[in-house]
């Protein structure tokens, strides 16, 4: 298909570059505006980017553009969580009993690959160092200012799509617009994050097990590590900003940082020769959730990805949900081609509940990762779920599997089913109703019966709430 319609994409990050590529493949004229320099020429945001966990929902978006095979060489499979206690003992918790895995991927490498693919499209023009300073929602115009020359340039487009992240200028323009109601909220965790590293060993090898997401859960605090292709690990410390004796505010000297790591992460400390330097020089960044509505205005503008729904990274679904956004949007363009107003309305009507769900699940998983993963009852639950998935692969999916590996399910359904399953199994274990004397099949039948009972109760509760 070819069309004379012009689409302006604000942002050339992961979501923006994939979105531009797909729109160009559909035959639209696409202009991409990015406030940062071209990262293929100048490396950006050192110390800020959390490594990405790339999984099935994200692959669905890449598959749409024919890039599935090109992304695989950039990926390192992670088969589960490797839990590290204070004594340095480890426990491997697989992500799935069906052998499913997620991938560690460099944000920068993936972004470069997507930009290279955009460059191959004659109907995409990309401009860097151009910061969006204003959007006229009704006229479909956006004004940009060059980072160096400060020269301003205004573009007219049939559609403006804001893939400009959590600080979205398009979203700010919607918020400032007074001709329709715009709901906006942001919630920050009391924790921030700082990126550190494990360098590769002297022989270039990985210093800890390569094919896992490593977690050091410490109740209130947490550290994770994801592998990189060069043998290093990107390490991320999640710590309170200013509460308690160990916070970013209190760890303000080399001695304090070293003492904290000696107490909490002694096995990791041995692998971090640059700890103090990285801790002092790398930025501390916030962790927040953004929700807003509507995502569109006048059939001319649309928010997508983090610009519409910023989430914390603890389900590894930020990029994956943004790529899935593009897949869902593409379906509505097929359905209502040329009628952008209807496309945007139906897209939001379907997608908003799902992105709210994954935002809530990501916060839940933060608490699970930093505290629950180390608890015996949680480990018992995970072992049972892995056994269910291994022996009854079509009958049982854990909450994590429903969210991460069931790309055919909406996030809302995955959340409802997953939460009910978690509650059912934990209650049954706590009450001693799943003893070792029972077969695995008997245990699964008991779990299923408990879930059905809870689903019934949920339906009754909903009816009561409607009556009120």
Q: How far is CA 118 from CA 264, 267, 460, in A?
A: 45, 43, 51
* 453 CA to centre of own chain: 33
CATH label, 6-74+104-186+287-366, candidates 3.40.50.10950, 3.50.50.60, 3.40.50.1370, 3.90.1570.10: 3.50.50.60
The CATH number assigned to the domain with range 189-286 reads 3.30.9.30
Kindly give the confidence (pLDDT) of every residue in the chain, 468 residues in length, as a single tens digit, with 9 standing for 90 and above: 557 899 999 999 999 999 999 999 999 999 999 999 999 998 765 444 568 999 999 999 999 999 999 999 999 999 999 999 999 999 999 999 999 999 999 999 999 999 999 999 999 999 999 999 999 999 999 999 999 899 999 999 999 999 999 999 999 999 999 888 999 999 999 999 999 999 999 888 999 999 999 999 998 899 999 999 999 999 999 999 999 889 999 999 999 999 999 999 999 999 999 999 999 999 999 999 999 999 999 999 999 999 999 999 888 899 999 999 999 999 999 999 889 999 999 999 999 999 999 999 998 888 777 656 667 888 899 999 999 999 999 999 999 999 999 999 999 999 999 999 999 999 999 999 999 999 999 999 999 999 888 876 555 445 444 544
Whether residue 240 contacts residue 247, with contact meaning beta carbons closer than 8 Å, is answered with yes
pTM passes above 0.85: yes
Domain ranges of the chain: 6-74+104-186+287-366, 189-286, 375-467
């Amino acid at each position: 298909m070819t069309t004379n319609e012009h689409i302006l994409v604000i942002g050339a990050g992961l979501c923006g570059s994939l979105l531009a590529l797909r729109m160009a493949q559909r035959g639209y004229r696409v202009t991409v505006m990015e406030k940062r320099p071209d990262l293929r020429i100048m490396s950006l945001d050192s110390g800020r980017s959390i490594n990405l966990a790339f999984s099935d929902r994200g692959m669905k978006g890449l598959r749409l553009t024919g890039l599935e095979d090109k992304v695989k060489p950039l990926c390192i499979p992670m088969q589960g969580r490797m839990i590290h206690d204070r004594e340095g003992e480890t426990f491997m918790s697989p992500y799935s009993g069906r052998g499913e895995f997620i991938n560690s991927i460099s944000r920068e490498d993936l972004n470069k690959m997507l930009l290279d693919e955009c460059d191959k499209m004659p109907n995409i023009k990309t401009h860097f160092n151009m910061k969006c300073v204003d959007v006229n929602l009704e006229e479909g115009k956006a004004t940009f200012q060059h980072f160096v020359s400060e020269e301003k340039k205004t573009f007219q487009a049939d559609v403006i799509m804001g893939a400009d992240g959590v600080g979205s200028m398009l979203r700010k323009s919607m918020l400032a617009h007074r001709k329709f109601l715009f709901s906006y909220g942001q919630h920050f965790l009391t924790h921030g994050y700082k990126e550190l590293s494990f360098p590769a060993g002297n022989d270039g090898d990985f210093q800890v097990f390569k094919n896992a997401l490593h977690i050091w859960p410490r109740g209130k605090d947490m550290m994770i590590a994801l592998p990189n292709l060069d043998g290093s690990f990107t390490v991320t410390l999640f710590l309170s900003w200013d509460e308690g004796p160990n916070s970013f505010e209190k760890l303000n000297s080399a001695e304090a940082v070293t003492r904290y790591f000696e107490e909490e992460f002694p096995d990791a400390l041995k692998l971090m020769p640059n700890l103090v330097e990285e801790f002092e020089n790398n930025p501390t960044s916030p962790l927040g959730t953004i929700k807003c509505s509507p995502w569109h205005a006048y059939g001319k503008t649309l928010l997508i990805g983090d610009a519409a729904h910023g989430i914390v990274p603890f389900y590894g679904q930020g990029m994956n949900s943004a790529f899935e956004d593009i897949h869902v949007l593409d379906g509505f363009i097929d359905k209502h081609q040329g009628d952008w107003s209807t496309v945007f309305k139906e897209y939001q009507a379907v997608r908003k509940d799902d992105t709210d769900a994954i935002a809530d699940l990501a916060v839940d998983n933060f608490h699970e990762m930093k505290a629950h993963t180390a608890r015996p009852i949680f480990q018992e639950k995970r072992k049972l779920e892995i056994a269910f998935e291994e022996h009854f692969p079509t009958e049982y999916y854990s909450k994590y599997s429903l969210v991460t590996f069931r790309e055919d399910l909406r996030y809302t359904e995955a959340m409802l089913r997953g939460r009910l399953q978690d509650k059912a199994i934990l209650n049954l274990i706590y009450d001693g109703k799943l003893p070792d004397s029972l077969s695995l099949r008997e245990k699964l039948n008991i779990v299923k019966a408990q879930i059905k009972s809870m689903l019934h109760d949920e339906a009754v509760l909903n009816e009561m709430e409607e009556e009120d």
